[in-house]
Amino acid sequence: MQGMKLISNIAVSVALALSSQVFAETAPEPGSDKGDAAKGQQIATQVCAACHNPDGNSIIPANPSLAGQHAEYIIKQLNNFKSKDGKPAERESAIMTAMVEPLSAEDIRNLGAYYAQQTPKPGVAQDKSLAEQGEQLYRGGNLETSVPACTGCHSPNGTGLPPKYPRLAGQHSEYTLGQLRAFRTEQRANDENDVMHTITSRMTEKELRAVSEFISGLRQ
Ligand code: HEC
Ligand code: HEC
């Protein structure tokens, strides 16, 4: 009897597993804000792959990797690149403003779902001693100049904390350094409450370089 019960329990769980798979493969219900990764993949392959690679692991250091980035952060950035009613976009990038122009809110959700599901390729820091200085800053901040540790918001392993705090681990150092400089000069000013502007305005150029180098090799 025990054995029979076990077998029927297994049968039930197999049936449940199968039916949930079927649900996962059907289109999301109208009004659902989860996004359809398969539809996102079509746009990613046709439009975005040239610069971000088909799976979002960019091989060009100036272009950010998107693989494994949180959907919420990707959606926010794509909306921030949009220029509405001729007003300047909240996040400035001539390339990306042109890219997002034809995208609907649904396309943007689908792209967020697609990239969030891709597996990020781990990176390797090129300059080990610079990366070591960067690690101290990433994990401990700089008490003298009131720079907080990055871990508090971006997590110790750089995977970030959705919905607000982006994943950083393995990102190209060239891209990260460019963004940190842009936050410092407020060329990028789409960070809520100026959080990244305040932090980077307390950092030296050397510190920006060191932490960018460390992040490029940070693994989860
Ligand atoms: C011609 C090259 C190019 C194409 C094509 C392109 N991108 Fe980009 N993308 C960039 C560059 C360069 C940046 C960095 C902009 C900056 O410096 O702020 C960027 C930034 C981004 C970011 C911000 C990432 C972050 O970590 O903040 C997202 C999201 C993004 N792109 C998504 C897309 C999507 C989705 C598409 C297709 C619809 C696309 N991109 C097409 C070059 C491109
Ligand atoms: C108090 C929270 C907080 C702390 C501490 C913090 N960040 Fe951030 N960071 C944010 C938020 C929020 C964003 C997203 C801004 C936006 O919405 O575009 C961000 C964005 C970034 C980005 C842009 C990522 C991308 O893909 O474009 C980089 C790079 C970054 N942070 C690096 C750092 C570094 C390095 C440190 C430590 C010196 C740090 N952050 C400390 C909150 C924080």
Helix (H, G, I), strand (E, B) or coil at 16: helix
pTM of the prediction?
0.89
The predicted model gives 110-122 an average pLDDT of 97
Lowest mean pLDDT among 20-24, 66-70, 103-107, 193-197: 20-24
Average pLDDT over residues 135-150: 98
Q: Which residues line ligand 2 (CB under 6 A)?
A: 64, 76, 147-148, 150, 152-154, 164-166, 168, 176, 179-180, 190-192, 195-196, 199, 211
What class, spelled out in words, does domain 128-217 have in CATH? mainly alpha
Q: Do 37-117 and 128-217 have matching folds?
A: yes
Residue 10, pLDDT above cutoff 70: no
Q: CB-based burial of residue 177 (10 Å sphere; 0-12 exposed, 13-18 middle, 19+ buried)? A: buried
What integer is the mean pLDDT of 101-128?
A: 97
Residue 32: predicted pLDDT: 56
Nearest atom in ligand 2 to the alpha carbon of residue 208 is 35
Q: How far is CA 119 from CA 2, 32, 46, 70, 140, in A?
A: 42, 24, 19, 12, 28
- Residue 132, pLDDT score: 98
Q: Which of 2-16, 28-42, 148-162, 193-207 is least confident?
A: 2-16
Is the pLDDT at 1 greater than 50, yes or no? Answer: no
Q: How many CB atoms lie within 10 A of CB 161?
A: 13
For position 33, what pLDDT does the model report? 72
**Could you read off the pLDDT of 49-84 as tens digits, one per residue?**
999 999 999 999 999 999 999 999 999 999 999 998
Domain ranges of the chain: 37-117, 128-217
pLDDT at 190 over 80: yes
CB 36 within 8 A of CB 27: yes
In sequence order, what are the beta bridge partners of 142?
A: 147
What is the chain's mean pLDDT, rounded? Answer: 89
| DSSP three-state, residue 219 | coil
How many whole angstroms from 55 Cα to the centroid of ligand 2? 23
Q: What CATH class does 37-117 carry? A: mainly alpha
- Secondary structure (3-state) at 100: helix
Residue 116 has pLDDT above 70, yes or no: yes
Q: Which ligand 2 atom sits nearest the alpha carbon of residue 147?
A: 38
Is 111 a pocket residue for ligand 1 (Cβ < 6 Å)? yes
